[in-house]
Amino acid sequence: MTHPSDPKKQIIAHRIREARKLAGLSQGHVARMLGLHRPSISEAEAGNRNVTAEELTKLAEIYKVSVSWLAGEGVATVDPHSDRVQLAARELQKLKPADLERLLAILATMRGQEDEE
């Protein structure tokens, strides 16, 4: 077993946790989908349990992300901000053009409020 402080393992753990949260799924729900017990998901998300290639593939399908992204391909450290931005961008791609325009207007308003503070 790899030590929990292994950077690659922590990247995978962080990304599967973030992707699950963005998907709006509980650990229990994901465990049932994979035929596992909930603690197995909890341990994987904490970086205390190795995730098999088959599990990683199924998680990628469930969360609608690539296996390479979950596996942290090309990344040396956990970057929560970058991971969340990448997940948000994936969600933005699913929006209808009119909804995207509304969201961009909201973001512009939010940035304007930050500048005033």
Q: Where along the chain do its domains lie?
A: 7-116
**Separation between Cα atoms, residue 16 and residue 45, nearest integer Å:** 6
Is the model more confident about 26 or about 108? 26
Tell me what pLDDT residue 2 has: 43
Question: What confidence tens digit (pLDDT) does each residue in 1-26 have?
Answer: 444 568 889 999 999 999 999 899 99
Backbone angles phi, psi at 87, to 5 degrees: -65, -40
Tell me what pLDDT residue 37 has: 97
Is the model more confident about 75 or about 51? 51
Q: Which fold has domain 7-116?
A: 434 Repressor (Amino-terminal Domain) (1.10.260)
| Predicted TM-score (pTM) of this structure | 0.73
Residue 76 has pLDDT above 80, yes or no: no
Do residues 12 and 69 lie in contact, with contact meaning Cβ atoms separated by under 8 Å?
no
- Token pair 């939010």 is found at 110
Across 87-116, average pLDDT: 84
Q: Residue 51: name the closest of 70, 38, 33 by CA.
A: 70
